[in-house]
A and B are shown apart, each in its own frame.
Chain A
Amino acid sequence: MKRSTAVKGVTTLASLLLAESASAEYRLNMTQGVTPISHDVYDLHMTILWVCVAIGIVVFGAMFYAVYKHRKSKGAVAANFHESTFAEFAWTIVPILILVSMAIPATKTLLAMDDLSDSDMTIKVTGIQWKWKYDYLDDGISFISSLAPEHNQARQRDSGIDVTKIENYLLEVDHPVVVPVGKKIRFLTTANDVIHSWWVPALGWKKDAIPGFINEMWARIDKPGVYRGQCAELCGKDHGFMPIVVVAKNESDYRDWVAMKKQEQADALASADRAWSKDELMKKGAQVYATSCAACHQANGQGLPGAFPALAGSALVKGPVEGHIDRVMNGKQGTAMAAFAGLLSDVEIAAVITYERNSFGNDTGDVVQPATIKAARK
């Protein structure tokens, strides 16, 4: 009777502690994540952690016992031993055995991670200073995902906005990656300019996105939800401002989203064929400028001396329109200026060039039509 009460007490206490740690988990410990791999990684992490804690208790216990007991002020007299073949042998062999027992589960998990067979769909992730481009290779959907405008505004040094009031500050994007649950999704990572790293902790891994190379990794997400992450490889000035948002939906919701996205793309494509008014282009151009250009050339077009050239009064911007189109579409080798031909649509390029040529005191009056850009692509 007494014994069962004690057992009950211990289990209640244990479950309380566990509940405690579960609520604190997000802040203190690695996430368990939402994929089979992320669970394995979490278990591996906890195993190594506890092994280290156990070794630490033994070693530090011995050390602090000695510090406490074998001190001169307590009258300790120094012994004179200074070697022991047995001890040396033991503390070489025992750690090797512990390491082997840790290497076995680690190897298993690694092999599972590297098994990319039988994937259901493929998403190509391209890192670009400082945003992500997603290509759904099976559905032909493709879009760019940047830090949400509200967050981008708040994070400026003199914004005067209280960032603590902004939900998911710095972890929100304009266009999230939407994926179905329960499917084995293959992610291909690559980059346009410098090395980035695509990391969503809930998926259990990060993978570097390297220009000229394609890496692969996979995830099968168990439950619908919104999972946030960030670029994990230093990629320049705004490395801290290129978040990732994965929205996992069930199959039918995902299909709806695909249909909607396809319609959006078709509409955008059609709009490139009509003539745009200057006002329309200026309005669209201002949006594109804010997400694609302002990080370097600054919102006021003044650039950053020594790092990024000013557009205000720039000879290139005020000069012949062909030169300007060429620079935006093809970039400039050896600098951070990307080739935007592969990143922006005809309308977006036409709009942003129009905007640049008629802002920051540049008053060329030029209007560039999407059709011109379309022609320039050939």
Chain B
Amino acid sequence: MSTATATHDAHEDHGPAKGLMRWITTTNHKDIGTLYLIFALIMFMIGGAMAMVIRAELFQPGMQLVDPAFFNQMTTVHALVMIFGGVMPAFTGLANWLIPMMIGAPDMALPRMNNWSFWILPFAFTLLLSTLFMDGGGPAAGWTMYPPLVLQTGDAFPFMILSIHMMGISSIMGSINVIVTIMNMRAPGMTLMKMPLFVWTWLITAYLLIATMPVLAGAVTMLLTDKFFGTSFFSAAGGGDPVLYQHVFWFFGHPEVYILILPAFGIISQIIPTFARKPLFGYSSMVYATASIAFLSFIVWAHHMFTVGMPTAGELFFMYATMMIAVPTGVKVFNWVSTMWKGSMTFETPMLFAIAFVFLFTIGGFSGLMLAIAPADFQYHDTYFVVAHFHYVLVSGAVFSIMAAVYYWLPKWTGHMYDEKLGKLHFWLSAISMNVLFFPQHFLGLAGMPRRIPDYSVQFTGFNQISSIGGFVFGLSQVLFCYIVYKTIKGGQPASEKVWEGAQGLEWTLPSPPPYHSFVEAPAIK
């Protein structure tokens, strides 16, 4: 961090405060973006370490390393950390850095709230992670926190609920900031339909967050009162309904999965045109497809619950509605491929990650479509097939898009080119090991291995070993990623204003790195 300070100082007259206080009191969108991104990277490594524990225990049948109770804590906290601590803050960090520079605004609209929404997060996650050291350990009922099981959580329970409230408050404030900024601070002439797609997808994502985070807060608050204040929202014995929780949770949870992927769509839609040297195919249909996906995300939640025993009509409705999502998602994939078609492509690291995204995310989409078919889901549900599915859309989807974004904009942020050779090495290691890690899990699920089990029947050994080896390589590859980022911040080839030959957009008209306060005067939009 101190070196980042130095680089900024060298460029700025009325620059940031010195030392630690700069980061604690900052209201600058670039500083806050950096904080979010570094925080996300730390959480990504912590959540990854938990995944390593999981894969190590599953390397062979029998219990070798941990107890079942601790194993369940690992799967639960891994998911919470990766979703709420890794992917979401990373996207918010990208939004902070990029949205003002993309729409020609000097900063985010609500800078003090921006500071607060970030600084809540370290406290929320300290609270969550501290539960691992309490008597009885951390939460172990899965990130979905289904009652009645979650009500058996020990001392960790209220800490988990409070930390989720804090994450929710942080996300809601971040989203308000994004919406207000985009609605009010665009440079003159930057009409909505001229906005870069990353800005569009984030605008829609922000609305999803504001709509669903309070629902999650409501659900977990009901858990809290069920546990401590004698209510029976989810207890059948008291006249409540445990399935009600699942409906409320997934009403949040399904839009949440689009919160985790829509900004990724935006990133990929920025990167592919740059390296294909060709404008994005079907800009307006991309915007409409994003909006349709967001709308559909609110009416498909119960496809996570086909096996809870719904009426036939309900199952049919949720099956049909879920299948419909394939249409706008397909439009996006076709548009990306058409953008590449007859382009003049080069394959720098961001483009490699973007192409891998299109390929692997689509595979995750296919398995998603299979899961949408309710009768088949009676077999797939809660097996490793589902684990493979959501890691294809979240790791090779969300996480790869974030990595693509980092390689793409890091030269702009730091003024230094990253090491292209190392970047490509990181890409190939990640892309190959990711498939070694998750592809065999499709077979495991189909062959009958349930998810969230610490030990398995010996017939599943082979694929679990392959998967674990892939996992260890993937985990180690991310250490290389940390090194590449560190090295680029420290120094490297100076980056030009435009950085990439085919880059389009306002952020590429600023110097690299951009001044501490950019677009103090609104730029002219052609």
Interface residues of A (CB under 8 A from B): 26-31, 40-41, 44-45, 48-49, 52, 55-56, 59-60, 62-63, 66-67, 70-73, 76-84, 87-88, 91-92, 95-96, 99, 102-103, 106-107, 109-111, 113-114, 154-157, 159, 161-164, 166, 168-171, 193-195, 197, 199, 201, 204-208, 210-213, 215-216, 229-241, 304-307, 334-336
Contact = CB atoms under 8 A, between A and B. Distances in A.
A96 B327 contact: yes
Contact of B136 (A103, A231, A305): A305
Interface of B is mostly: helix
A252 B447 CA distance: 32
23 contacts: A27-B447, A31-B448, A41-B379, A44-B373, A44-B376, A52-B369, A67-B345, A70-B342, A71-B346, A71-B347, A72-B345, A83-B281, A87-B334, A99-B326, A107-B319, A155-B62, A164-B458, A169-B458, A197-B381, A201-B379, A205-B379, A241-B455, A305-B136
Interface residues of B, number: 102
B146 interface: yes
A80 B279 contact: yes
B152 A171 contact: no
Contact of B152 (A155, A159, A236, A241): A236
Contact of A82 (B61, B64, B278, B456): B278
Interface in B334-388: 334, 337-347, 355, 358-359, 362-363, 366-367, 369-370, 373-376, 378-379, 381-383
Contacts of A304: 69, 136
Contact of A30 (B319, B344, B446): B446
B285 to A, nearest CB: 5
Nearest to A25: B447
Interface in B62-103: 62-64, 66-69, 72
B375 A40 contact: yes
A208 B363 CA distance: 28
B375 A210 contact: no
Contacts of B319: 103, 106-107, 110
A171 B456 CA distance: 9
Contacts of A92: 327, 331
Contacts of A171: 457
B155 interface: yes
10 smallest beta-carbon distances between A and B, as pairs: A212-B236, A306-B135, A306-B136, A240-B453, A215-B309, A205-B378, A52-B366, A79-B342, A194-B149, A78-B344
B471 to A, nearest CB: 19
Contact of B155 (A29, A233, A306): A306
Contacts of A159: 62
B231 to A, nearest CB: 12
Q: Most chain-A Cβ atoms within 10 A of its Cβ — which of B155, B278, B343, B367?
A: B343
A60 B72 contact: no
B391 interface: no
A334 B63 contact: no
Interface in B400-451: 443, 446-448, 450-451
A212 B148 CA distance: 11
B404 to A, nearest CB: 16
Interface in B277-327: 277-285, 307-309, 312, 315-316, 319-320, 323-324, 326-327
A169 B447 contact: no
A169 to B, nearest CB: 5
A63 B359 contact: yes
B379 A45 contact: yes
Contacts of A45: 370, 373, 376, 379
B152 A78 contact: no
Given A77-B344, A106-B374, A232-B307, 15 more contacts: A27-B463, A29-B446, A45-B373, A60-B359, A70-B341, A83-B282, A91-B331, A99-B323, A113-B378, A157-B64, A194-B146, A211-B236, A212-B236, A213-B236, A334-B227
A110 B461 CA distance: 33
Contacts of A161: 62
Contacts of B515: none
A28 B443 contact: yes
A114 B312 contact: yes
A254 B366 CA distance: 43
B359 to A, nearest CB: 6
A106 B373 contact: yes
Interface of B: 61-64, 66-69, 72, 134-137, 140-142, 146, 148-149, 151-152, 154-155, 227, 235-237, 241-243, 276-285, 307-309, 312, 315-316, 319-320, 323-324, 326-327, 330-331, 333-334, 337-347, 355, 358-359, 362-363, 366-367, 369-370, 373-376, 378-379, 381-383, 443, 446-448, 450-459, 461-463
A99 B324 CA distance: 8
Contact of B309 (A168, A204, A208): A208
B345 A70 contact: yes
B358 A63 contact: yes
A210 B455 contact: no
Given A29-B447, A210-B242, A66 B278 contact: no
A76 B342 contact: yes
Contacts of B343: 66, 70, 76, 78-79
B316 A62 contact: no
A48 B330 contact: no
B344 A27 contact: no
A87 B334 CA distance: 9
Contacts of A305: 135-136
Given A70-B344, A306-B137, A199 B450 contact: yes
A370 B63 CA distance: 37
Contacts of A52: 366-367, 369-370
Contacts of A29: 443, 446-447
Contacts of B324: 99
B67 A239 contact: no
A35 B463 CA distance: 28
A96 B330 CA distance: 10
B447 A66 contact: no
Given A88-B285, A211-B242, A212-B237, A99 B455 contact: no
